Amino acid sequence: MNNNSATNVADPSFGKAWLGTYRDTNGQVMYDLAKASNYNACVCGTSGSGKTYFIRELIKRVYIPLGVTLCILDVHDDYAEIPGLDESYFNHIELTYTDQLGTINPLKVDPNSGTYMPIRHMLAVTKMFNPNMGSTQQGLLRNVLSQVYVEAGIIQENRDTWTKSAPTLQDVLTFIINAKNAASMGLTNTFVKNVRKALKKDEISDDEFHGLGKKLCSMVERVDKSIEKVWNAKAMESLESIVATMVSTSLFGEDNIRLRPGMVNRFSLKSLHESDQLIMAHLLMDRTFTTVLHHNEKKYRPAPELMMILDEGKLVKSISRSPMSPLNRIATEARGFGMGMLFGVQSIEHLTGDTQKNCSMFTLLTVPATEYSDAARRFQISKEELQRMTPHRDAMIYFNSGAFKNMTLFQ
């Protein structure tokens, strides 16, 4: 493997990688991370343009020599192997519906915001699972999640409790089922929980039996309307269906995903449905970014410590819709914490203006003829230049929002 990026910060060539030559001047095209406004990079090119090949070369020539930890969200298994890169560099994590070797807990408490951000992301993820989920259901789920955290001993106002074991989606489902049963009978969820706990015992004392009996008689007589209002049985049943579907995927459970420093951590999403690929990509980006914010000191770094890589335009477009999405937060906030984003898109339609603006390096490969006019207008280049480009050989590139320049890749 040709490593042309020095690992010693004092070396003048540290963080510099040769990508090819400028066609107009024959000058060398050097990617200089130390001079980059951020660590984000985008590669845009239609199928067969050499996009995946170029990203693989960036991995080998730029990041591996620097010991950067890579997190690849691999939708098509394009990165199961990288020619010229030994298998010992890889940490493969398969996400499937049939085992729990790669599961994530979306309710894991955020060390900076407690339960606030996990609840927000859980609401967003649930909406992805069921796009028809209304505001009433979302409000109900927010209340359920808050209560589930409380039952786990995690209090948002008490930071000392944030280190306790986080509940899982199975805990949420159990709570919803109990609350649904309680609402249909006019009972409190706590009472139903206590009954279930008592019934699990081999023996129950007379005092416990009489205590539960008295409560049951009292509540059945007066049917608590306030509880019926909060835990509406019909609404809870609808919520149960959504959460039960999520639990049944086997993608959510205890956190058992660990990134290996300095390696290519490849998450294979190929076995998942497109909608589940979106959800898991969203969660993995968020979890990785949250971890970096918590563990890394904000300071200047001449090169990134961690790069997130996503080579699928549809997912890039979907995840970047919200200003507070993990992709957009990584693009705008992560540089100071040593993290960047490298993404590949098949069409300029997959790019928002903000996504493009937040990339210190942008590489444009061949695009479909149907996009010549849009590309020429958006990137301020001529259609003739686009027409002359040859796949796997030609590209147009800019650094730090400069003007596009024609180049020949790795020649």
User: What mean pLDDT is predicted for residues 178-200?
Assistant: 65
Do 296 and 271 share a structural domain?
A: yes
Any domain includes 360: yes
Looking at the predicted structure, is the pLDDT value of residue 272 above 60? yes
Contact present, 393 and 366 (Cβ < 8 Å): no
Q: Is the pLDDT of residue 182 over 90?
A: no
Q: What is the mean pLDDT of residues 50-71?
A: 95
Tokens standing for residue 270: 């190929």
Q: Is the pLDDT of residue 254 over 80?
A: yes
* Residue 2 falls inside a structural domain: no
* Average pLDDT score over residue span 295-304: 89
The pLDDT, as a whole number, for residue 310 is 96
Query: 388 with 333, same domain?
Result: yes
Q: In this structure, are 263 and 386 located in the same domain?
A: yes
pLDDT digits (tens, 9 = 90+) for 91-136: 999 999 987 677 889 999 988 889 998 998 899 888 888 888 888 8
114 DSSP assignment: B
Contacts of 125 (CB under 8 A, 6+ apart): 106, 246, 279, 282, 283
Amino acid letter for position 17: A
Confidence of residue 409 (pLDDT cuts 50, 70, 90): very high
Mean of pLDDT over the chain: 86
pLDDT at 102: 78
Higher pLDDT, 306 or 379: 306
Domain boundary among the residues 213, 248, 283 is at 248
Alpha-carbon distance 174 to 188, whole Å?
14
Measured between alpha carbons, how far is 379 from 245 in angstroms, rounded to an integer? 43
Q: What mean pLDDT comes out for the span 398-411?
A: 91
**Distance in Å from the first CA to the final CA of the chain:** 16
> 47, 55 in Cβ contact below 8 A?
no
- When mean pLDDT is compared across 5-19, 50-64, 315-329, the lowest value belongs to 5-19
Q: Where are the beta strands (DSSP E) in 80-231?
A: 90-94
Q: Which tokens belong to 10?
A: 């004092």
Query: In angstroms, rounded to a whole number, what is the distance separating the alpha carbons of residues 311 and 53?
Result: 11
In terms of average pLDDT, the best of 37-41, 125-129, 222-226 is 37-41
Same domain, 49 and 185: no
CATH number at residue 210: 1.10.8
Are 269 and 232 within one domain?
no
Local structure of residue 348 (DSSP, 8 states)? G
Same-domain check for residues 386 and 262:
yes
- Same domain as 192, residue 305: no
- Residue 95 maps to which CATH number? 3.40.50.300
pLDDT for the residue 4? 45
Least confident of 12-21, 46-55, 194-203: 194-203
Co-location of 146 and 65 in the same domain: no
pLDDT for 117: 87
The pLDDT-based confidence of 192 (bands split at 50, 70, 90) is: low
Number of structural domains, the chain?
2
Closest of 250, 341, 251 to residue 292, by C-alpha: 341
Task: Assess whether 347 and 300 both reside in one domain.
Answer: yes
DSSP, residue by residue, 203-220: ---HHHHHHHHHHHHHHH
Using the 3D structure, point to which of 248, 268, 291 is the last residue of a domain: 248
**Residues 165 and 200 grouped into a single domain:** yes
In the three-class reduction of DSSP (H, G, I as helix; E, B as strand; rest coil), residue 41 is classed as strand
Evaluate if residue 327 carries a pLDDT over 60: yes
Instruction: Please indicate, yes or no, whether residues 308 and 394 belong to a single structural domain of this protein.
Output: yes
Residue 7 covered by a domain = no
Asked whether residue 109 is assigned to any structural domain, the reply reads no
Q: Is residue 382 part of a domain?
A: yes
Identify the domain containing residue 302 by its residue range: 16-102+257-409
- The DSSP letter of residue 87 is G
Give the pLDDT confidence score for residue 222 in this predicted structure. 43
Q: How many CB atoms lie within 10 A of CB 45?
A: 27
Q: How far, in Å, CA of 398 to CA of 383, rounded?
A: 17
Q: How confident is the model at residue 216 (pLDDT cuts 50, 70, 90)?
A: low
Measured over all CA atoms, what is the biggest interatomic distance in the chain, rounded to whole angstroms?
Answer: 92
CB 319 within 8 A of CB 282: yes
More confident position, 125 or 362: 362
Same domain, 240 and 281: no
Would residue 352 be called left, alpha or beta, if left means φ above 0 and alpha means ψ between -120 and 50 degrees?
beta
* Domain boundary, last residue among 209, 226, 248: 248
What pLDDT does 231 receive?
A: 59
Report the pLDDT value the prediction gives residue 70, as an integer from 0 to 100.
Answer: 98
Q: Is residue 1 a part of any domain in this protein?
A: no
- Residue 278 has a pLDDT of 92
